[in-house]
Structure 1
Amino acid sequence: MINERFECEILRASRIRLFQLMETSNYEILFKIPAGFNNNIIWQIGHCITSQQRHMYMRSGLPMYISNEFMESFKIGSSPASWKITPDVNEVKHLLIDTVNRLELDLEAGLFVNYTPFELPIGFQVRNHVQALQAANYHEAEHSGVIFTYLKLLFNN
């Protein structure tokens, strides 16, 4: 049996690490796009938040804790080139932690009852909110790897 609390602890640990990275990085680094790439660190982080909200909440028929504007800025296929406004770093930092807090409360309240399954790009079908949480942790690990690669590239230039 999958332990939802443990999955949330993994998500929180990942988010705290990203929050700390944001706290210790300057604005320029967060928004700079490394050569050969089309996104930056802030997009990677906002994308993690957006994907988790879409996969957990939207697919469960529940309202997300992000705005439509935030979702549009960070959904798959978007990039800084498509931004209508520059994202607010403080909003991204707030949502990193707040969305985990709310997720824990919503899981405890049993809000996740219905779910519309979907297939991940890696060919795996997500059938319920617990699998969506597991997939979010995998997804965030992938993007965290990209973020730390960006940091190496940006600091070596």
Structure 2
Amino acid sequence: MTNELFEFKIFKASRTRLLQLIETVDNKILFKIPENFNNNIVWQIGHCITSQQRHMYMRSGLPMHISQEFMETFKIGTSPHTWNSIPDVDEIKHLLLYTVNQLSKDLESGIFVKYTAFSLPIGITITNHLQALQAANFHEAEHYGIILSYLKLLN
């Protein structure tokens, strides 16, 4: 059986690395879109936050801890080209850890009791909040790799 605490620790470590990255990279680089790509580092990080909230909270019938505007800015299918306004990097930094801390409390309190299953584009069906957390870990690792590629292309 999978250990929920272990999965959470991976999630928290991933978010800590994303926060360290966003705090050390110049804002110009965070918003620059590499040639032949559609998104930038800010979008990659905002998208990770949005996906985790949608897959864990919305699919559990619970309120997300991000605004509707934030979700619309970073959901799948969006890009900086569709933004109505420039996202606030400080809000993204805040949400990176706030959503982790909130998830810790929510896992401990046991609020994840129902779940609406859905299939990921990679052909796997998510049927509960723990699987959603595992998928978030995979998803965020994918996007972290993309971010590292962007940094090599932009520096």
- Give the TM-score of the pair, scaled to structure 1: 0.98
Matched, 1:46 2:46: yes
Matched position secondary structure for 1:18: helix
Distance, in Å, in 2 between the alignment partners of 1:103 and 1:72 is 21
Deviates more, 1:136-145 or 1:2-11: 2-11
Match of 2:5 in 1: 5
Query: Partner amino acid for 2:74?
Result: F
Q: Which runs of 4+ in 1 moved over 6 A?
A: none
Where does residue 122 of structure 2 map in the other structure?
122
**C-alpha distance after superposition, 1:78-124 (max 9, x if no partner):** 00000011000000000001101100100100000000000000000
Partner of 1:65: 65
1:132 matches 2:132? yes
- Structure 2 residue matching 1:85: 3-state secondary structure: coil
Cα distance in 2, alignment partners of residues 23 and 102 from structure 1: 21
Aligned to 1:82: 82
Corresponding residue of 2:95: 95
Deviation at residue 2 of structure 1 after TM alignment: 1.2
Cα separation, 1, equivalents of 2:25 and 2:19: 10
Which consecutive residues of structure 2, in runs of 5 or more, have no partner in the other structure? none
Query: What's the offset of the Cα at 1:33?
Result: 0.2
Normalising by structure 2, report the TM-score.
0.99
Offset of residue 73 of structure 1: 0.5
User: Considering only aligned residues, what root-mean-square deviation do their CA atoms show, in Å?
Assistant: 0.4
Identity of aligned residues (%): 69
TM superposition shift of 1:3: 1.0
Code of the aligned partner of 2:11: L
Aligned length: 155
Q: Using the alignment, how far apart are the partners of 1:33 and 1:44 within structure 2?
A: 11
